């Protein structure tokens, strides 16, 4: 496996794991996790920063999904 293929594979696995965990967090926990990952992303080595950015993207996507679901629920 080339290093790029390895990074893509690990990124995909991480993406799936973070999505599953994020789905079980309440809104407060999710916001806290996003804040924590944002702080860590910029104080880390390149590899850890890349991992943090994958986590951050997944966590933000979950938050946006919840906000969209709430907006639809209140609109109907």
Note down the domain range covering 63: 3-75
Q: What is the pLDDT of residue 1?
A: 45
In degrees, rounded to 5, the angle at the alpha carbon of residue 4 between the alpha carbons of residues 12 and 56 is: 40
pLDDT for the residue 8: 62
Question: Model confidence over 8-67: pLDDT tens digits?
Answer: 666 677 777 888 888 888 999 988 888 888 887 777 688 778 888 888 888 999 999 999
Choose between 3 and 2: higher pLDDT: 3
Q: Are 60 and 34 in contact (CB under 8 A)?
A: yes
**Number of structural domains the chain divides into:** 1
| pLDDT greater than 70 at residue 3 | no
H helices within the chain, ranges in order?
3-22, 27-41, 46-75
pTM of structure: 0.69
């Amino acid at each position: 496996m080339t290093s790029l293929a390895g990074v893509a594979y690990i990124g995909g696995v991480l993406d799936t794991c973070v999505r599953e965990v994020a789905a079980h967090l309440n809104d407060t926990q999710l916001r806290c996790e996003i804040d924590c990952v944002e702080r860590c992303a910029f104080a880390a080595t390149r590899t850890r920063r890349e991992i943090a950015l994958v986590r951050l993207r997944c966590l933000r996507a979950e938050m946006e999904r919840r906000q969209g679901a709430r907006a639809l629920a209140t609109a109907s």
